[in-house]
Structure 1
């Protein structure tokens, strides 16, 4: 029974009420922590013990119902090791011996003076404090044992020597090493030489000694060899235990088996390597073949298949050597586990395919993993054994297949880009040859006609030719934008602005430069971007427009004081071929957007401070 940390609750049992009252008075005077509850009979005392928290029982020997020793035996039976002091006027060696045999905590004979109460108070304090210390120690040990029994590892104390001789071992010692704690504690088996892997002994010793020299806890990983010869990997953390004068007495720590974690870590590293290697494959067949090989060598999957969708079917692109070529066939995207995986874009893990209604196993296969490869196809691993795969296998398969999907999507993107570039190259050829040559002929004929006779009609024709020339040039720029990689360098922004302004027919327009510093950009493409924005401002803002280029927090802006951008034009502003005027080509802002994209910048159109058009270029990098 527990009491508060300060109070000492005493049950005094004596059939003399006057003596009990007197004793209680003196005991409480001797120590303010003592609180005395009295009982005139042992039966009343037993009832009180059942109802109250008591730290110590003080009882007379000669009681009318139960003798003191009999009472002690009942207390021991019901209340365990509760401190019990026999305080009696009938002292004899026989009674003392009997009381000790029955488990009395202390024995004290009544005296005649008041000093007997001081002595009794001291005996009570000693008995209670000793009991509390014992209980605290037992509770600590119980909690420690519970903790150790639930820890997935070994708790130890050993001497600091290369052999790591163990003084104390508890926990999962036999489960991890095959050796018992007694084997290690008795020196039959030495951790440092018999358990630790020979190749790791020196490294582990050095790591521990270095940490001790720094006065820090140590942490190390190494391999062990179990009793049956298996190799495991363990993680150890510990500290030095020092005496009062600072001498190292021992090492205490914790060792746990992290073989599974380490193996998974190895798999993840291998998959990371595969992710790097797979980026070098130049065909989808090569990507799929590498994926199958990785699944076999890294994930230990013996039988794997990759199907890539083609016209509603899922033909096989790569297959493990362990599966006969005639053992699988092309399936419809509407049938089987492979079709379900492809249609739903969700992985499937099954212990037994025969339990799935849609399954159509093409062999003696039971367990299966099926993972979608983006929206391109499906990866599958199968086994002839029920329950061969678990959630961990599925997670690793999904990680591998994610790399496969990225590689295949990259190849598809590159294929589409090549086709697009081929179309653009053909388009540029048509523009540069089939359109420019007739225009050159028309311009030559116009010059000859104007030499013979000039008229306003011919001036209109000349302006039309000029517009056609600008249109052809813009088309060529747009077609070739993206073919050449940008060459980033440090560019003085104000200087680039002034130079670009000089390349544009500005008439009475005015430029204000409020931008400063340098930016990282392709000089020629930046000037081309600025020239197109300046032409756009002049074409839409009028010949006397004012154009301002200013700094932004993450870039710069180009703003004019013209009429602004009508709301009906804003959604199509950067669309190639779209123009808000009859004399514009409709390609200038599309070129601006392409150049911004090539740099990784953003470009947006908004309303300026004075109602004009404002273009903001963001994400523009500057040198550190």
Structure 2
């Protein structure tokens, strides 16, 4: 099937599908819309029926009101007008008013008159017994008479639905009090139904609710009529009956006629458009495309790329013809270039740094490049056309022969490495890529070899192996385990050194890869959360991590280890692995625990001794105070004052030793500087001082008493700053030497001669140990401090944190 036929068939099928879809959608939309219009019209007519029913009920209610609000009725209910019934409730009254039932009761709901009239029989009949169901005490007909309102609606009786109304009995001037109820009812008979039909101009019928179950208010009866339904409730809220109307489906049938006309027009338009489109496509596209294909086929048959196809016009087909002509011109140029490049091929090959050789299966060389010719120190003309081989070492000759026989049509290429004796007598390594060229009968017609001298590479590989051997020996002799592992839930090790054997009791291969033991299984269960938190924090900060934890060895023995590690990241910044060193610190841990226990006992002894001394000093100060009141000699009083000052100084120094007895006892830790500043300042009353802190979110490796540094600096400012002290500023920034913290106040400052003395033990006006111990706290982890302020302008303390002793929250450790 040619392209023209395919195009015409595809177009016609597409057109038919579009028309069919359009017809289905339009039919659905049109008929649905007309059906909705039809239902809206019927619902409007049903609403008119309900309004007319309300009007009929209101007419009966109006008549009932005339009788209920009448002095004669009021007198009759009160028992004063005996001839009221004989005069007013005659047959003509029922007929003229269109009423079937009249009931009159007193205020206690006792019926004092009841009458029922059948206009068909033209005689009085008994009041329907089922009417009494609606006359009990709780009936809506007996509403509150004092409210002077009325009740009106429908009741359902076996004889048929009845329109009924109830009004309180009043005097003609609407005064009272009400002394009873006047009730009127009329059957919804054929006369009233006919009146409804005449009023709306449509057939109206009535049926009991249980005669028909319906789910919607409008239902089509056939193609020509639809029926609308509306239910009515009685005065008790129960469904009494259903009124239905029947309307001709003029709107729906008009819609069907309109749709038929639309379908006819659409089919006619589609037929005409299809014929015209097919003619236009065939004339402007398919015939020209067929002619273009014929020309291209002719050029392909004779192989004359210098010919050109016709490309008249300015549309896509003419552009295609121009593109084909450009392609033919390009092919023509490529053919010319190919001939030139073939001449350049030998020059390119000869300029390669690799050796290139081609020879037949019989060993006759067909081509060598200049680099190979120079390597073997034999002219190419003396090699090509002859059998030529290098001198291979006898041990390696089988390797080369095996490579030549290993190639097959399915695997025509292989690699081989061997040693040759160079023309200068040296032994050289060579690597060759051997490719066999097979004929159509799968026979080898030629070998093509590309090779290079790899002697230096072999020497480098040997040097690398020696380096790896040295590294392996070094790691094997380390007192611990070097590792490289993945950052996964099992802490999978990809490499562990031989030190793993002494550290864990497991062989290295048992801990690596898919070995039977994951390193996480060796970590003490209580320590696993802290271990992973430390690693995650180090990774998040791109910083080295260090931690101590316990492991369970192969023999079940518990060991304390210290791990130093860090993440290894690729050029893309992604985490590649974890590397580090783990060593046994069980003995160190036991020693530290022993020292810690000894320190606890010493601290306990210090506390007891300090407590006793303070008690004695308190007693001494009390005795001095008591004795001073009895001393009249000024000389003796002077000595007592010196004794008191000395005792108080001793008291302050003893308290000072209590604050700093933990100095250096606990190990240094990473502490947030901002938190240390806040903790230190919170211990002082700075209500009259303006405090500003502008420090990066950094952590410092320092003694846990770091907060005492900022406390003592601020305490000194409060004591020695003078009355002009109003502000304390703490700031910080990175420098080439590390992170510099600056503490400034606007007090009196420190004199030049005191700058070098203030950090000495015992120098000062209070205890003399505040700044001394600040320097000692910082010096534990190599942090320095100096005073650089100007006297009279305030004090300035510079705290220099060296690289490696601080971490910025958003970056790695500075080292």
Bigger Rg, structure 1 or 2: 2
Q: TM-score, normalised by structure 2?
A: 0.28
